[in-house]
Structures are given as C-alpha cells and as structure tokens.
Structure 1
C-alpha cells in the first residue's frame, strides 16, 4: 500500500519556496460552523481574497490549494495537527499570491487585475467528503464538500454572483478538485457567465506501477470510502463504475460538460514517486536516486520512465480531444506549474512558442484551440 501521510507537506512547500509577490489577508468563515462546514478538526473554513480592479472588476479566479489527501483515520489525525493548516484553520497562515494569482502584470499579464481567490484546503478529500457522523473518538469531521459550498457561497455574497468571466483552478489535490467539481462550481452561476476550469498537476492517470500493479487505485478507494465522497463525484461516472475509479480524471472527465484545461507534466515528480516508482513496487530502492536526481538515472530507468509517459499520454489523449478542452503537457520534471515561474516567465517550458499563461488565455478567450504536447523530449528534464 502506498504510504503518503506526509507527502502533502511537499506540495505545500511548493508555495513556501518561491519568490513572493503579494501578501493577502486570511478570511475565516465563522458562520460556516453552524452549517456543519468545517475542517478535519471542526474549525471553520478559510480563504484569501484580493479584489479586482480596472477591466478585471467583474472577472474572478478561484484557485484551490494543493496538499494531498488522507486515507485512514490515523492519517487524518496526523494531518489535522500538521503545521501547515491542511486540517485546521487554527494552524493556517497567509500564503503569498504568485503565478496565476499574482497582481503583477509582468508576471501574470492576463489575470493580474481579476478578483483572485485562494481557497484554502483543510479536509483531505479534494473538497468532496460529506459524512454527517462525527468521529468523536478522534475528533474528526469529514466535510470537504460542505467546506467547498460554504466558501463559494461566501464569495457569491461578496460580489462573485455578478461575475462575467470566471476561472476555477487548482494545483495537485486542488487540481483534481477543479476537475471533479468543475460542473458543480459552474452551477452556481447564471447561464450568461463564462466559466471554465484549469487543472494543474491534477490529472492523476490510472496506470500500473513498476511491479505491474494498480496500487494507487486502492488509495483512492480508501479516500472515497472514509470521506463519503461518492455523492460529490459526477453521477454519470459513479452510476457506471465504483466511486474510487471516479477519482481518476480519465473516468470522470467524459461526464463533465464545462470546458477544462489540463496543465501537467508527463513526468510529474509527485506522480512518478507515488503512482509509478513507489516504495512498494521498488522495495530495494533501485529507483530512489533516479527519482531524486535525473542525472542518477540509468538507461533502463529512463526507459521505464518513458513507459510511464506513454501511459500518461494514452490516458489523457482519450479525454481531451474535444476542441473545447485544452491541454499543456510538457516534460518538465516538476509538480505544479501555475504557481511558479513556469506560469509565464520560463521559456524552457514553452509549447508552440507559448507559455502556459498564453496558452490558457488563448483557450479561455476562444481565440484558438490549444492542445499542445511536448513531442520533442521523450525523457524528463529540468525546466
């Protein structure tokens, strides 16, 4: 079984190790507690909001925080006391706005003056859980779906209901949520509002690990069961297969109507370590050095990584062929690219001579289709 108790810490550190551009106040929604919309530890949900200006005053970007998941009671108990606030708003602190959340025009030319929201993540289920019964023995609340509803309702009350243009995005576990909840989020708005979704590093393929097993499927099964997530997943998917499989985008996206843009590396570092070259499938640790440093990879290990890339591309190719869908699939050895310099400034991650920000802008504004895949590199590389 995959051991991922603290892997969400790595995701959060992505936000802490990049150059900051803006500090934004944390808002706690105290009134949500009465509705049962609470974090793992029973504390109220939270978000950060920076108001739009100029021609962005009626445009909104809602971005969901990364942070992995918890799949057992023990795992969730550890999560709710983590120092990064991923299970409790009592432990949250303000995270800087960067990349697609930046208010600097030179870093974020198309979204810098939109209303920008950072939806803070504190439930461990990609905002899908909804269990009425409280685990009093461990003081755990599995209410991610209610947290999501409470934050969106709060945003609607402070002006988002009048939005003309909306982007719903997320990174990693938040990127997965931006797929799973894309239609639900769209449903909060009037038909005249233009709503699209961006999933950054949230496309987790259903692929075999090094030993030829589908171990990660068991992990998603446990998340869905523990958190009671089935009712939050697209019903078209859950009526045709077990809910755990519907946590995988390739099975869910065919049932989603709102356009989605997938930003992902075909060699996503988190996926390589936790879906493919897992500790369970590599008990002797032969892949450890390779995972941590590409210069340490042997020829045979690079070939195995190419197999992972082929599986990833086969998976995503089956669900992003519609002209309404977008994709930016490079081979940068990294995880999450909309909150780092790769969003706009990094030339080494360009596809079709465009940055991620430029590709998303063309797609969102219907200027052209954007479905780029890096076919130049078959091996992972640093960007």
Structure 2
C-alpha cells in the first residue's frame, strides 16, 4: 500500500487567544488532503453519523522516512443522545463534513518551526466519535441512528497505517490535543503493542490531563459528565483494565487514575491553569449565573483575591495528580503557568521566536529532548502571576517534589471547588 502525496504549501495566517495574549503569525503551512477509510465500515468503524473514519497524513522524507507521528484531533465530547445528535452533521460527527486542513506546530514540515519532527510521517486522526476514541456499542440507536464506535475507529486507522509502512517504524510518537490528548493517554500502551519491539515508541498528551475536581458550587460536575460519556458510548471495555478492575469505569476516564499503570513513556504537556478546565469543570455550566466569574475565566489577571485563591488551589490539585507519575525519566513534564489549552498544534506556541519557555526551552525542544533521551524533562513553572513564560520573558521555575509527604503517603490531588470565591458567598 502506498503512502500519501503532499498536496501543496499555502500561506496561513493564525490569530488565536490564549488568555488575553494574542499570538499572530504568518507562515507556509502544508495543506493536507483527507484520507477516508471506506473499507473500515465493514468492521463497524464509523463516525457518529455512520460515515467512514478518516485522517489527514503527510509522508515522511529523508531521515524521517521510518519515523511516525500520529496525532489525535481534539474537540470535546458528546455525553447523551441529544448532545451527540448536535454533532453528527459537522466535522466532529461525520467525515462527510471534513476537508483538507493545514499542518502546523508539531505537524509542520518546516525545519525552522518543527526542527525534530519536520520530516517524519505525520498523521492527524480526524475526531468524529465524541468519546476520545473509546466508544464501542454494537447496536445503532433506533431513533437517532447514531453510532458509538470510537474504539473501532482507532483500530481501523492503526491497521491502515500499519499497512502503509508504520509496521517498519523505528521511531513513533502518539500525541493528541484536548480530547485527543486524553485519547493518547488511554491508547498509549495499545499503540506501543502495535509497533516493532525495537522501535522507540512514546506518547504525548497535550491539554489532555483532565482533573477530577469539584466545581465552585461543590458539585461533581465533571465526574458526572464523564460518567455519562462512558455510559452513552459503552466505553468501559476500551478503558485500561488496570483501572477498571479497581474502580468505576467513569473514574478511568480521568488520567490521574490511569497514568500510574501505563508502561509506555509518557509526556504530559499542560497549563497548570488549563483554560478549558477552569471554564468548564471548575466554573461549570450554571454555577455562575450572576456572572461574577466572567472576567476571571477570560483573564486571570482580572480575578479578585478569592477567585485567584481558587485558581491556585486548582493548580495545587493538578500538580498533586501529576505526582502519581513518579520520578522515572521515562515521564516528561512541561507544565507552564499560561492560561491555555493545547499548545502543540500552533507554531506560535510549539516553536517560534516568542513561544512559551521553561528552563529556556520551547515546548518542541523539551519534547524532543525527552523523546530522544537526551535529558530528563520535568519542567513545572512557578504559580500565577508568574506567567511570564507565556511571553518568553525571564521567569523562575519551581522545584517539584515527586516523593511522598511527611506521613509517608503518596501525594494526591485535592479538590479546589470546596473553597468558593469570596464574593460568591
């Protein structure tokens, strides 16, 4: 089976918001066509609407011919029938709504923007199932005609890539952003099993370390939300058995309950003040009817003292959960104090002249150092308002202890939601 052809290089202008910081840049972006796996439907591997799964791919070249970067697209989840119906006609529910896309950041083919992975085979798995590629329900909902087959999509894409040359991989990295970053964690060991034993195989989760915390009202919103996802999509059988054998499958959708049993080297890239989690899990829907958190969740510099205290507690809980990863150099960390969510897909954040830095390294450099075992990478930034890494100005990193507390018990995450902002009563 042949690999893919590059399509064209175009001019891409990107302007995004990360907190209140605007990154603008112009560069040549590789535009990549969609590969649709029509034959995969025979195995039941389909999107929410029943259309075939798909991915975007660009072939490796030169020294990167036998190296593979497989990146899983993000896009949240759908947790019930009506919510999934709302996604089915768009690109997050149907390959029929997908088209060509530009590759940038970790997927860029320009050496100056992606110096370590630019010439690898690069694949972006299109996300159209709403379950972080974990769903597997044989029956089709008789009314909505929805299909919940995310796990089969992952298997079908892996099989296709295997036939296109990934079975000869010397290096391979499974990565993903947001819901895709969660998928990279949940499928990490499975990905390793598919590749040659002699290959260097690792996983990277970008913005995918979702924390089980209470919201500002003290409710378990995100836990209940994840539970509905797992139930709706029949995800239990696809989640790591090392976790589901000990606790509810819904809890195994949280990385903090899974990562301790992952044997494949894992790199966690995340903002300690993850903007999606703060806006959706911490200040969950309906908890801020008066709008007192509106400015704070848009720009943490606008938070009052009580709100800032809650954010700092969220950070402490996040770092506490990461301690479960242990001290092994196989585990990499880049946890900055940016108010951000996903930092690999845009060159402005991945590797650019004003990209975020920790230990004087861009994200791209830190990931490469870890992947090639050049050094241990466990970079954790100091707390907000020490968020200057987002602007690439001098900062002080914080010592991060992966050990045990004075009582000899493993450090674990606590819930910041029990403490409410001062002006919320």
TM-score (norm 1): 0.92
Distance 2:126 2:177 in 1: 12
Distance 2:241 2:64 in 1: 34
Cα distance, 1:155–1:59 mapped onto 2, change above 3 Å: same
Please name the residue that 1:237 is paired with: 243
In the aligned structure 2, how far is the partner of 1:320 from the partner of 1:226?
Answer: 33
Stretch deviating more after TM superposition (37-46 or 277-286): 277-286
SS of 2:55 mapped into structure 1 = strand
Maintained 8 Å contact 2:73/2:177: yes
Task: State the alpha-carbon separation in 1 of the partners of residues 25 and 205 from structure 2.
Answer: 20
For residues 1-383 of structure 1, what are the structure 2 equivalents within 5 Å? 21-82=29-90, 85-340=91-346, 341-345=348-352, 347=354, 349-375=356-382, 377-378=384-385, 383=391
Compute the displacement of 1:379 (Å): 5.7
- The CA distance in 1 between the partners of 2:40 and 2:258, in whole Å, is 29
For the residues of structure 1 that align with 2:154 and 2:293, how far apart are their CA atoms?
A: 38
Shift of 1:18: 7.4
Q: Which runs of 5+ in 2 are unaligned?
A: 1-15, 18-23, 392-425
Deviation of 1:347 (Å): 4.2
Contact 1:346 1:355 in 2 (8 A): no
CA–CA distance in 2 between the matches of 1:18 and 1:80?
33
Structure 1 residue runs without a partner (length 5+): 1-12
1:213 shift after superposition: 2.4
Distance 2:383 2:281 in 1: 24
In 2, Cα distance between equivalents of 1:346 and 1:336: 18
Q: 1:339 to 1:348 in 2, by over 3 A?
A: closer
Deviation at 1:166, TM superposition (A): 0.2
Give the structure with higher Rg (CA).
2
Higher normalized helix content (fraction of residues): 1
CA distance in 2, matches of 1:188, 1:247: 22
Count of aligned pairs between the two proteins = 367
CA deviations over 1:54-106 (Å, ceiling 9, x no partner)? 10000000000010000000000001123xx1100000122210000000000
Using the alignment, how far apart are the partners of 2:355 and 2:74 within structure 1? 24
Whether the 8 Å contact between 1:347 and 1:355 is mirrored in structure 2 is no
Query: 1:380 & 1:213 partners in 2: Cα distance?
Result: 29
Q: Is the 8 A contact 2:45 2:52 kept in 1?
A: yes
Measure how far apart 1:304 and its partner are.
1.7
Whether contact under 8 Å (1:145, 1:232) holds in the other structure is yes
* CA deviations over 1:40-66 (Å, ceiling 9, x no partner): 000000011100011000000000001
CA distance in 2, matches of 1:321, 1:265: 20
Matched position secondary structure for 2:333: strand
Q: Is the 8 A contact 1:267 1:333 kept in 2?
A: yes
- Report the Cα distance in structure 2 between the residues aligned to 1:26 and 1:146, rounded to whole angstroms: 19
Q: 1:203, 1:253 → 2: CA distance?
A: 10
Q: CA deviation at 1:314?
A: 1.1
- The CA RMSD measured in Å over matched residues stands at 1.7
Contact (CA 8 Å) 1:262, 1:327: kept in 2 or not?
Answer: yes
Specify the alignment match of 2:12 in structure 1.
none
What secondary structure, in the 3-state scheme, does the structure 1 residue paired with 2:29 have? coil
Shift of 1:321: 3.0
- Assess if the C-alpha contact under 8 Å between 1:306 and 1:378 holds in 2: no
Q: Distance in 1 between matches of 2:301 and 2:380?
A: 24
